[in-house]
Amino acid sequence: MSAREKSPASSRSSSATPPPIGESASPAANSAQGTSNANASASGNAPPAGTAAAPQGAFVMPPGMTMPPGMQFLPYFPQPAAAAAAAAAAAASGGSGGGAASDSSDPNGAAAQPQQMMIHPAFIPQMYSYPYPGMLTAGMKLKRRQVKNACTNCQKACKKCDDERPCPRCVKYGIADECQDSVRKERRKGIKRGSYKKKGELTSLSSFWFGRGDFFRLSGCIYLMLRTSRRW
DNA sequence: GCCATCGGACTTTCAACCAA
DNA sequence: TGGTTGAAAGTCCGATGGCC
Ligand SMILES: [Zn+2]
Ligand SMILES: [Zn+2]
């Protein structure tokens, strides 16, 4: 497509045009860890699902569903000051900061004051793996997670990038200093679209929704809220 | 086996549309 | 005005071929 500009990566100083990093897995495997970096780091310091005693107010997985490794569902009521910090942490961690749960300001401390329910920083990276793995049923497949903005090197090579800068791929190939966010075009405005079709019956409607990122991006949170009887 | 290249499947984003 | 739609813009899987 026009957006795709295939330029030989070798035009760069070369010795080091980066090859794929950890890209040998099957599509399914890739998707499953899709969140690759996020999950990898998250699983490092989160207790295995179902093994830890559920803390007060912790989410209990419904029958037939399993808590994915590294996942944790904890109601999060940050204090005003903590809220900003948490938001910053979440933003900083992007998709790769699964370990944020180890914050010294653990939001789930007993002293946390209910102010406004927020997404626990540790949960945010997981939200980008949807359908939320626990909701996955036979026939559904995990969607591939994409970074918001690949670095210029990965973009040229059409390879998987990361939210971190320098990204792991650039680091591995010694071109960390060249790792920069690619510049996104501004979307054109004023394009007329004609009238919209209406979606049909329920079945196609539901499959439609299950194919939408907008839906799954929030589904984990909504699902959690629906399944718990706690007051949010 | 390692790596670059790249076609195209797939995902994300967000302005236009539209019903309430 | 908020929710829905759908296409633009983007990511990156995986096939292919060259090189050592
Ligand atoms: Zn990158
Ligand atoms: Zn990079």
pLDDT at A188: 83
Q: Which residue is nearest to nucleotide C11 (CA to C1')?
A: A146
**φ, ψ of residue A181 in degrees (nearest 5):** -60, 140
Tokens of A69: 């490794």
Average pLDDT, 10 consecutive residues per value, chain A (232 residues)? 35 32 33 32 30 36 42 37 40 33 29 35 43 51 82 92 89 87 86 74 42 48 42 39
ipTM value, please give it.
Answer: 0.88
Indicate whether A29 belongs to any domain: no
Which three-class secondary structure state does DSSP give residue A155? helix
Q: Is residue A129 part of a domain?
A: no
* pLDDT tens column, A143-168: 788 898 999 999 999 999 988 888 98
Structural domain including A152 reads 146-181
Q: Is residue A150, in this structure, part of any structural domain at all?
A: yes
Q: Is residue A141 part of a domain?
A: no
Report if residue A172 sits inside a domain: yes
CATH code (residue A158): 4.10.240.10
Asked whether strand B has any atom less than 7 Å from the CB of A191, the reply is: yes
Range list of β-strands (E), chain A: none
Residues 108-137 of A with CB under 7 A from strand B: 128, 130
Does A174 map to a domain?
yes
* CB A113 within 8 Å of CB A59: no
pLDDT at residue number A52: 32
In a domain, A36, yes or no: no
Measure CA to C1' and name the residue nearest C9. Answer: A3
| Nucleotide of closest approach to A182 (CA, C1') | C10
Chain C bases near protein CB atoms (7 A cut-off): 4-14
How many folded domains does chain A comprise?
Answer: 1
The answer to whether position A166 is within a domain reads: yes
